[in-house]
Chain A
């Protein structure tokens, strides 16, 4: 069955036609190679990059933003958010510091500086 997808990898938002064939997934409508990969993945095992904020225990009223280094399986997104609720960090923090080592196959890192 053919599915129409919107590629979410960049703001261009290409409309893809994706279909699972006998031995492979066919993708058309993509403007770049990343789009082809996205179309295949979206049908077989969709993934999402997760971004969130965590409290900084010694800086009241300040949160630190974090992200998964790589996309995680879409069905694990809420589970990951639950895991992150338990974390709290201590300033000073630099961008790129690891917050969670094992987040469904990738790491969660900070994306901003808190002095």
Chain B
């Protein structure tokens, strides 16, 4: 069995940032394992621009953002194993992986989980009807088009208004396909405002809210879908059905953190985020195992993924260098109007703590309030909030009171 100080599982934006942060903090024995043939994770297929504005102060495309980090890694002694699939992880940090050379076992001083997400598929949605060709998750169609140059269809309906679906509506339109409609089961879009503008409005693509696909038609190839409006419980309303002819259905209905390895290592997961429960250093409840990026909670912006990778990388370095101290944790909880808060517990109450959370419904002119017991630690005004846009509020250092109990985040209308 090999031994390494820090092993990062996943070489996307979170894993690359984590590995670099750990390396720069003084741990030179860092390894990245990734099942793809190259570093970058999902970024190489995200050819649109808008990456890096916060983090790097420039507007890059996905491949350029990935290259920025990959180039930095090439200048270090960080070892990268591509084409290597991790098949198991234990709580005492033994990793088993497989690649073309065979089976590899590593005992790691610290492990950083950075495996990202997979897309919710047709099967998981339970869509009725036949099973013809022409039904793709938006990300699969994106990879086929942007990495391999293959346009998957000519007349397209998109189910779900997540960012990948919106981006693909524009990409397929630019490439000559006709996008007939984007339908969203919720009464509001799940994507960023700017994507509604530049991907749908720019091309006059209609967005139907509170609408879903109730039937799929066609035997060999998709021939059409039936849309229906839904009530407040998201149940289709009889009599509102209408057919749209199309040869392609793209599904953009959310991302699921790929946490099979975390489960194997008996790490406790948060039922809302689908990721591990972590403290502010992104340490899970398995000592020495950290998590960051979309495997922890789904982000809208890669910039925040890189930030989170750096936090986890630095923490893993402190852990293997023996500088980490265990402290009593204060839990964070979601109050009124908040779906989840991350981190779920705070150990070091002396430092500044950024809290990340999502609201449960879109609202205008609200206050975001962070409380401990009855005392308000911070209050921030927002002109608008939306579940599709992650909120960040920084708690200043030293504002937490020991023994005063949990920290609650809520939306005040």
Contacts and interface: CB of A to CB of B under 8 A. Distances in A.
Q: A and B: partners?
A: yes
B44 interface: yes
Contact of A65 (B47, B59, B194): B47
The size class of the interface chain B forms with chain A is 20 to 34
A74 B67 CA distance: 28
Interface stretch (B130-138, B195-203, B367-375): B195-203
A50 B175 CA distance: 12
Interface residues of A, number: 30
Interface stretch (A7-15, A19-27, A98-106): A7-15
B49 A112 contact: no
A51 B61 contact: yes
Contacts of A62: 147-149
B48 interface: yes
With most chain B CB atoms within 10 A of its CB, the pick from A7, A10, A77, A81 is: A10
A52 B384 contact: no
Nearest to A85: B176
Contacts of B174: 50, 52, 77-78, 81
Interface in A10-65: 10-11, 13, 15, 48-55, 61-63, 65
Contacts of B389: 11, 13
B193 A95 contact: no
Contact of A13 (B44, B59, B176, B193): B193
B63 A111 contact: yes
Contact of B53 (A10, A52, A61, A111): A10
B149 A63 contact: yes
A52 B176 CA distance: 12
A11 B146 CA distance: 22
Contacts of A67: 47, 49, 61
A11 B147 contact: no
A11 B61 contact: no
A58 B148 CA distance: 13
A54 B147 CA distance: 10
A112 B63 contact: yes
Given A11-B389, A62-B148, A63-B145, 19 more contacts: A6-B194, A7-B194, A10-B53, A10-B194, A11-B192, A11-B301, A13-B389, A49-B49, A51-B49, A52-B174, A52-B175, A61-B149, A63-B149, A65-B47, A65-B146, A67-B49, A67-B61, A81-B176, A112-B67
Interface of B: 44, 47-50, 53-54, 59, 61, 63-64, 67, 145-149, 174-176, 192-194, 196-198, 202, 300-301, 383-384, 389
The 6 closest A-B pairs by CB, nearest first: A63-B149, A13-B193, A112-B63, A65-B47, A8-B194, A13-B194
18 contacts: A5-B197, A9-B53, A10-B54, A10-B59, A49-B59, A51-B48, A51-B49, A51-B61, A53-B145, A55-B149, A63-B149, A65-B61, A77-B174, A78-B174, A95-B64, A111-B61, A112-B47, A112-B64
